Structure 1
Amino acid sequence: MTLHPFDEAVALTPTADGGFQGKTAPAYANMVGPFGGVTAATLLRAVESHPERLGDPLSLTVNFAGPVADGDFTISARPVRTNRTTQHWVIELTQGEAVTTTATAVFGIRRDTWGDGEAVMPVVPAPDEVAVSGFPDFIAWARNYELRFIEGALPEKEAEHPSSTTTLWVRDAPARPLDFASLTSLSDIFYPRVFLRRGRYMAAGTVSLTVYFHADAAELAAHGTDHLLGSARTARFSRGYFDQSGTLWTPTGTLLATTHQIVYFKD
């Protein structure tokens, strides 16, 4: 049986000391190192695969402390506290003696309660009404996603843009049933907002990424391989850093995840 490229990229092997061994995937390479979304997904997968894991992910924060080199890496994941319905984790990715990535995660058991949604999905055309486009060929990881930009595609010519907002339909390519790991990776699908505002490529990279999960495993399974609507924008660019906030919706308007980043850039 042939694995989906994403499943190959996040595959982990348990080690004798309770950790996990993995390897970067060339198919998910970025301009420098691997795509941050797939690194975050791999860290989440380590907790999902841990024998002590309780429930489903509620939140994940990943701090990109240094570049991840191509090749093997080791992940350690340990629960620092387990309560009746929540569990808190500390995770590290190392290569040799160097820690390249740290993370914290909260997993939990969801209960049936009252609920409501105040955020409203943007009004957009259906996926089949939007043309497929993409990123330049040298950005390998983007070839693993079907991208249909409604607004805010990568600039094709150097010209400043008044808005940092990107909205697009997206799903894995080839199509793959949605789960927490792929939702984590999709939460980082938005290229740096400074590219759009300044109208050109610049040195930029995520320093810290947080994903909040608003759905349980059953909701993700019911979504199947359909598109997600993603939208992201920045509140402020200042002194070499900017924030980047995003949302991921089902076509029927259910909010599955929100994501927040702090991003470094060099002008």
Structure 2
Amino acid sequence: MTRTDRSPGAASAATIPPYASAAAHPLDADTALEPLGDGSFRGRASKRYCNVGGSFGGFVSAIALKAALLHPKRLGEPIALTVNFAGPLADGELTVHARAARTNRSTQHWQMEVAQGGEVVATATAVFAVRRQTWSSTESEFPQAPPFDSVQPLAPGRATPWMGNYDMRFIRGTASAAARPEAPWDSVTTMWIRDNPPRPLDYVSLATICDAFFPRIYVRRPDIAPFGTTVSLTTYFHVDSEMMAAHGDRELLGTAKALQFRNGYCDQTAEIWTPAGELIAATHQTALFRI
């Protein structure tokens, strides 16, 4: 989840670009892209997915990935996405350029660039592939969690507009010191999450959800009001379109933890599971922090 130093603006009604359907789900309306030719697309960031000073990182990731998904030369489905955040994405028009750098027998490699006002705000790479049925195994363990309906959702009045687009139900590890009277000796978060309003799962929504965890510094040190912002985020997709269609718009279980805090930077790893115990995505990111 990215954050910048600039003061948050008041949330306002999203501006729907002419190439987006006003009746679409908010995520679809806000990630709508208009082809400009030569692999370039025009889009528009709105306050709905705004963080402190700019769009939250999951939205930027989704915009970059969607450009490759919409590209006429695209083959297969994404298995990996890396986004490097160079600067904040403000409300307003943006452009995305996607280029197939190389297509091999099994994989297709993509390069994307998100720009606004003549400046690059994010660079990204993605790997697409056509999966084939073969031996599969999951070594990671499904997190223990109470049922979705038994956990209270995060209360209204959330700190940033983007959080209002998700039904978050924390089981462990909120970013609030008041909610953690015990000493915060670890940064583990486990929570149920789904789009609000509910939306059938696809790669665009999964890319946003994979960055819906607060930077771990907020969980480890909520007592000192730290600052954190994602620098680089890599997501590995372990799911195909058929699996997502079967999942529909149901909730997902996410868990995240940090591995190391050192000299102003930390990393964090996260997993996204279906209620049936299927691991569908794993992420790793590097974040800057100040305390």
| Equivalent residue letter for 1:139 | T
CA shift, 1:156, in A, is 4.3
SS at match of 1:73: strand
SS at match of 2:259: coil
Q: Give the Cα–Cα distance (whole angstroms) in 1 for the partners of residues 30 and 285 of structure 2.
A: 22
Q: Give the Cα–Cα distance (whole angstroms) in 2 for the partners of residues 25 and 211 of structure 1.
A: 24
Misfit runs of 4+, over 2 Å: 134-138, 156-160
Task: Tell me the equivalent position of 2:188.
Answer: 165
CA shift, 1:199, in A, is 1.2
CA shift, 1:9, in A, is 1.5
Task: Tell me the equivalent position of 1:103.
Answer: 124
Q: Give the Cα–Cα distance (whole angstroms) in 1 for the partners of residues 44 and 118 of structure 2.
A: 16
Q: Give the Cα–Cα distance (whole angstroms) in 2 for the partners of residues 229 and 251 of structure 1.
A: 7
CA shift, 1:135, in A, is 7.2
Is structure 2 residue 221 aligned with structure 1 residue 198? yes
| Equivalent residue letter for 2:228 | A
- Provide structure 1 residue ranges, at least 5 long, that are not aligned to the other structure: none
SS at match of 1:15: strand
Maintained 8 Å contact 1:212/1:259: yes
Maintained 8 Å contact 1:67/1:100: yes
Task: Tell me the equivalent position of 2:73.
Answer: 52
Task: Tell me the equivalent position of 1:130.
Answer: 151
| Equivalent residue letter for 1:238 | R
Maintained 8 Å contact 1:134/1:142: no
SS at match of 1:185: helix
| Equivalent residue letter for 1:226 | R
Question: Which segment is superposed worse, 99-108 or 17-26?
Answer: 17-26
| Equivalent residue letter for 2:167 | E
2:240 to 216, 236, 248: 216
| Equivalent residue letter for 1:183 | L
Task: Note closer, same or farther for the CA distance 1:207–1:162 as it changes in structure 2 (3 Å cut).
Answer: same
Question: Which segment is superposed worse, 151-160 or 62-71?
Answer: 151-160
Q: Give the Cα–Cα distance (whole angstroms) in 2 for the partners of residues 155 and 137 of structure 1.
A: 12
Is structure 2 residue 256 aligned with structure 1 residue 232? yes
Maintained 8 Å contact 2:218/2:227: no
| Equivalent residue letter for 1:81 | R
How many corresponding residue pairs?
A: 267
CA shift, 1:85, in A, is 2.1
- Provide structure 2 residue ranges, at least 5 long, that are not aligned to the other structure: 1-21
Give the 5 Å matches for 1:248-263. 248-263=272-287
Q: TM-score, normalised by structure 1?
A: 0.96
1:25 to 31, 43, 46: 46
Task: Tell me the equivalent position of 2:271.
Answer: 247
